[in-house]
Structure 1
Amino acid sequence: MSFSIVVDHVSFGWPDGTMVLDGLDAAFPAGRTGLIGANGSGKSTLLKIIAGELTPGSGSVSVTGEVGYLPQNVPLEGSRTVSDLLEISGKRAALHAVESGDVAEEHFTAIGDDWDVEERARAELDRLGLGHVGLDRTVATLSGGEAVMVALAAQILKRPAVLLLDEPTNNLDLDARRRLHAAVSAYPGVLVVVSHDRALLDLVDQVAELRDAAVRLYGGNLSAYEEQVAAEQEAAERTVRTAEGEVRRQQRELIEARTKLDRRSRTARKAFENKKVPKIVAGGLTMKAQVSAGKHRALHQERLAAARDRLTEAELAVRDDVEIRVELPGTAVPAGRTLLTLPLDRPDGGPGGPGGPGGTPGRDGLKSLDRLVVRGPERIALLGPNGSGKTTLLRRIVEHGAHVPVGYLPQRLDVLDDALSVVDNVRAVAPAASVNEVRARLARFLFRGARADQPVGTLSGGERFRAALAALLSADPPPQLLLLDEPTNNLDLSSVRQLSQALAAYRGALVVASHDVPFLETLGITRWLRQDRDEGLAES
């Protein structure tokens, strides 16, 4: 098999001494590869090193062809335009100059053969569902999902031989996800994608798992990988059971041997005491028994040690994945108690009226709402396309206030101070808790020992989510209304499962904005709301 990307003994650590990768070897073949692994295992760091965004402390990376890279978080700040993000502003400026009559040589040099650059850019944006986004629109006005799709269009326009995607479906609505899946399926070059999106990972040709500081390739998509791992686990567990049985057998044989040899020694001693044999004969028998006992004991101890070694080796082959233990505040909310009443603006710009939660009939069987009423312990799913205002609605709830304590986890996880440690961020929202109490809580989110003292700015996307969630759930007073904006972004598959189980057991009220319908279906949703750009908020 020929490899397009070869990672040779690469190590990387942060300035504070935290090692992320240590002597990593990896190779990625042609086709589409899904790179998976637990949060904090170094997936994003590895992509950045391959892309040249980070320099390893040691080792090397070789790549066949030009590299394109779509980061996990596309910057939205500043006055950059869509054209800037597509990296075509220079060519457009030169093209417009020529069209206006300026025939300076540098304009033709800048354009090269890309005389149709604007048409190709608009066509690619339209193919990705962004026909409504103008080239001169500022990036800051885009939603998170729109920014991701524009950044993807930029990479596709450059046609790199190797394309690296880091959690590309984060923030994408269902239609955008389908379009991205189609783009990935059609990509002609080498592609490596880090993702927790099961539908996307079922489109890849092979899965590369970053685990225990090593990368292992599995042929086939995510479903095939899970079948292989399950078969390996079953075989490993059988081996453990066999090894455990062998250890027990060797322990019994050692005890039986000791008992038998002790009996011989007692027999020789009694024979002398009863004057049945001469002293010299009894001494010889005792010495012979002792020598024999020593040999047998050493033999059985050696066999027992070997059996234990085989058991240890077998146990190491069994996966013991550490998962977060999300424990949400036990704050029961009485059924029917009104927790929030938020007037809504009508799509025509008028104020919300007294129509109540029932609203008025809308299109597609939806009832348009002029106020949002949340009663305990409702579980509300908030759907809608990118840019429709879901995040804005959640922020309005926070600003408006509710009748109970509210916990808000924003999409971009900007509630933490990057300069402070994980411990200090949690202590800031739970000042009454002792340091030991805070550390105990953080241990449930896999921040143990020195990891809890890491500056938040050095965390991976998944680690940052865990830190933000820990701070949210440690707040004093604890939230009785949780507002979650795309909570499964950046989480590995096991953490999504843990979060689902914890939220399903939560006794407060939930409002969850998400495009991850399988995740929402695990929460026992009682109301489905849809936010639309033109028609506002409606209920199915």
Structure 2
Amino acid sequence: MSMPVISISDLTFAWPDGTPVFDGLDAQLGPGHIGLVGSNGAGKSTLFRLVTGELRASRGSVSVPGRFGYLRQDLGLATGQRVDEVLGLAGIRKALHRIESGTGSEADFEIVGSAWDIEERAVALLGRLGLHYIASDVAQLDRRLDTLSGGETVLLGLVAELLREPDVLLLDEPTNNLDQVARERLYEVVAQFSGTVLTVSHDRELLDRVDTVAELRQGEIRLFGGNFTEYERIIEAEQEAARAAVRDARSDMRKQSRELVEARIKLDRRLRYGQKMWDQKREPKIVMAERKRQAQVSAGKLRNNHIGKVEEARDHLSDMQERLRDDREIRVDLPATRLYPGQDVLELNEVRLACGPTVTLKVSGPERIALTGRNGIGKTTLLHRIQQDGPQVPWRMLPQRLDVFDEEKSVFENVAATAPHASAERIRAQLARFLFRGGDADVLAGALSGGERLRAALAMLLLAEPAPKLLLLDEPTNNLDLPSLAHLTEALAGFQGALIVVSHDPRFLTDIGVTRRLELTGDGLVESAGEQ
């Protein structure tokens, strides 16, 4: 049987305020494993919601053969839920237990259907994804969700979707909050899925395991055979050609403009000479009149010819510039955040965390520390304890959920609230360096996309008063597209203080110049030379 293909035909969708997202989108996604890429706000999550039927298109259709599974970016699970409820097994388990105890009814047999081995299948999947303590005991299916870490919850959500035996699997940032070991297990499980997989992710390693890259840009989808590295190679080659074309078009534009100026100078000389001849009456009037008429006609033709060439060159330059992608960069200079070598930042001595480990930690100078460790060990708890004990320098925290805003206020108003002594002009100038230019700074925080929220949160943290000299970052790369990940790296390059970063993204940790790696274990913090 052929693998399923997601068919998109004439798909048209706009938000209630009239903002268009898709207008007549046509595409076929699959078979195989596809990575869906595009900038934040391009419509990737909106497309997922249209595929699953959460949103309704105003025109067109999306066809998904068979059953689909959808692992959301934000699982939206209630912390009071039990594991078996998340897995969709609660009703079947109760029916099975009644049947096994001899009190089962005909309705219980209908509930179970053919799923007599559902508990065993669930436990096997949980074990394959590393949730061994749940897999080791069926009674663990009664655990509450609030006893699991964020990464364990993501894996649990994936197990729930796989138990439905889907033909098409939609994954929205599936490696968020996962340590490297858990990521490897997820890679293996996804690779063994025999149906069509459509993945949105900033995880380059995951994207390098796909068969096809689908780029969503300006409301259209373009397919690239191969993985993400091959996609980048093709795009860079196209962009180099586009940059060369822009250079040639600018050169031609200058040439045509220069020739137009030279033509105008030549025409002016002719007209002045003709007028001089007329004034001095050195030739018969009829001859001078005819010469003047011919000069004017010639001047008009010459002028129009050069003007036409300039306009053609300008139009060609505009066409070539449209082929260039927006590669705007965040460039900030933050001297007020500077720490000096040896300057005390924080110190924890034999501090016992609520989750168990006892930690000792001293940070001095502009150290950049990667805090790693398995899911659920207590890394976020340690960041909160650092805040509670109070660092010795001004600090700011970037939480996983980026919930640092007053959602009803604009980006400008949120930043202004953290920098009460800064003038409006200074705040707007600084926001422009975070790519919030003009009216973009007046957009409400609640209307921002994921990448925009990150840039706004960074602006709030880095432009705050007093300037922070320590940043605590909790999984800062979650939910970011690759351009936004680059923006985060660029912004941190301008920060001259100390960093403590919880992240399982080894490339990101290398790019931001981590100087120490600390692994949190059940026995405390240990220096780590490798990637976790």
TM normalised by structure 2 equals 0.90
SS, match of residue 135 in structure 1: helix
Structure 1 residue 5 corresponds to structure 2 residue 44: no
**Identical aligned pairs, as a percentage?**
52
Structure 1 residue 313 corresponds to structure 2 residue 311: no
- Cα distance in 2, alignment partners of residues 434 and 263 from structure 1: 55
Q: What letter matches 1:213 in structure 2? A: G
- Cα distance in 2, alignment partners of residues 281 and 10 from structure 1: 69
1:538 maps to which of 504, 507, 526: 526
Q: Which residue of 1 aligns with 2:165?
A: 159
Shift of 1:416: 3.0
Q: Which residue of 2 aligns with 1:38?
A: 39
Q: 1:304 to 1:348 in 2, by over 3 A?
A: closer
- Cα distance in 2, alignment partners of residues 414 and 289 from structure 1: 72
Shift of 1:268: 4.2
Shift of 1:121: 0.3
Structure 1 residue 519 corresponds to structure 2 residue 508: yes
Q: What letter matches 2:510 in structure 1? A: E
- Cα distance in 2, alignment partners of residues 262 and 427 from structure 1: 57
Q: What letter matches 2:64 in structure 1? A: V
Q: Which residue of 2 aligns with 1:241?
A: 247
Q: Which residue of 1 aligns with 2:84?
A: 83
1:142 maps to which of 112, 130, 148: 148
Shift of 1:389: 0.7
Q: 1:210 to 1:131 in 2, by over 3 A?
A: same
Shift of 1:195: 0.9
1:139-538 alignment runs, 5 A limit: 139-272=145-278, 276-325=282-331, 328=334, 330-345=336-351, 370-532=359-521, 534-538=522-526
Q: Which moved more, 1:155-164 or 1:323-332?
A: 323-332
Cα deviation 1:99-143 (Å, max 9, x = unaligned):
111231111111111100000001001111112133111112211
Q: What letter matches 1:115 in structure 2? A: W
Q: 1:421 to 1:301 in 2, by over 3 A?
A: closer
Q: 1:373 to 1:24 in 2, by over 3 A?
A: farther
Contiguous gaps of at least 5 residues in structure 2: 135-139
Contact 2:4 2:168 in 1 (8 A): no
Shift of 1:61: 2.7
Q: What letter matches 2:131 in structure 1? A: L
SS, match of residue 154 in structure 2: helix
- Cα distance in 1, alignment partners of residues 413 and 110 from structure 2: 54
Contiguous gaps of at least 5 residues in structure 1: 353-369
Q: Which residue of 1 aligns with 2:123?
A: 122
Shift of 1:263: 4.1
RMSD over aligned Cα atoms: 2.6
- Cα distance in 2, alignment partners of residues 273 and 346 from structure 1: 102
SS, match of residue 494 in structure 1: helix
Contact 2:475 2:503 in 1 (8 A): yes
- Cα distance in 2, alignment partners of residues 55 and 203 from structure 1: 31
Contact 1:485 1:513 in 2 (8 A): yes
- Cα distance in 1, alignment partners of residues 270 and 452 from structure 2: 64
Q: Which moved more, 1:336-345 or 1:143-152?
A: 336-345
Q: Which moved more, 1:130-139 or 1:317-326?
A: 317-326
Contact 2:431 2:459 in 1 (8 A): yes
- Cα distance in 2, alignment partners of residues 502 and 458 from structure 1: 22
SS, match of residue 216 in structure 1: strand
Q: 1:141 to 1:441 in 2, by over 3 A?
A: farther
Q: 1:439 to 1:251 in 2, by over 3 A?
A: closer
Contact 1:420 1:456 in 2 (8 A): yes
Q: 1:242 to 1:34 in 2, by over 3 A?
A: same
Q: What letter matches 1:221 in structure 2? A: N
- Cα distance in 2, alignment partners of residues 94 and 444 from structure 1: 60
Count how many residue pairs are aligned between Structure 1 and Structure 2.
Answer: 520
Q: 1:149 to 1:252 in 2, by over 3 A?
A: same
Q: Which residue of 1 aligns with 2:137?
A: none
Q: Which residue of 2 aligns with 1:69?
A: 70
Shift of 1:436: 4.7
Q: Which residue of 2 aligns with 1:358?
A: none
SS, match of residue 238 in structure 1: helix
SS, match of residue 250 in structure 2: helix
Shift of 1:347: 9.1
Q: Which moved more, 1:443-452 or 1:229-238?
A: 443-452
Cα deviation 1:31-67 (Å, max 9, x = unaligned):
2221112222222222122222233455543322322
SS, match of residue 330 in structure 1: helix
Q: Which residue of 1 aligns with 2:103?
A: 102
Q: 1:39 to 1:238 in 2, by over 3 A?
A: same
- Cα distance in 1, alignment partners of residues 97 and 356 from structure 2: 41
- Cα distance in 2, alignment partners of residues 526 and 307 from structure 1: 51
- Cα distance in 1, alignment partners of residues 456 and 148 from structure 2: 27
SS, match of residue 132 in structure 1: helix
- Cα distance in 2, alignment partners of residues 83 and 255 from structure 1: 79
Contact 1:465 1:490 in 2 (8 A): no
SS, match of residue 337 in structure 2: coil
- Cα distance in 1, alignment partners of residues 307 and 478 from structure 2: 53
- Cα distance in 2, alignment partners of residues 96 and 456 from structure 1: 49
Q: What letter matches 1:293 in structure 2? A: A
Q: What letter matches 1:185 in structure 2? A: A
Contact 1:201 1:221 in 2 (8 A): yes
Q: 1:38 to 1:20 in 2, by over 3 A?
A: farther
Q: Which moved more, 1:303-312 or 1:170-179?
A: 303-312
Q: 1:26 to 1:139 in 2, by over 3 A?
A: farther
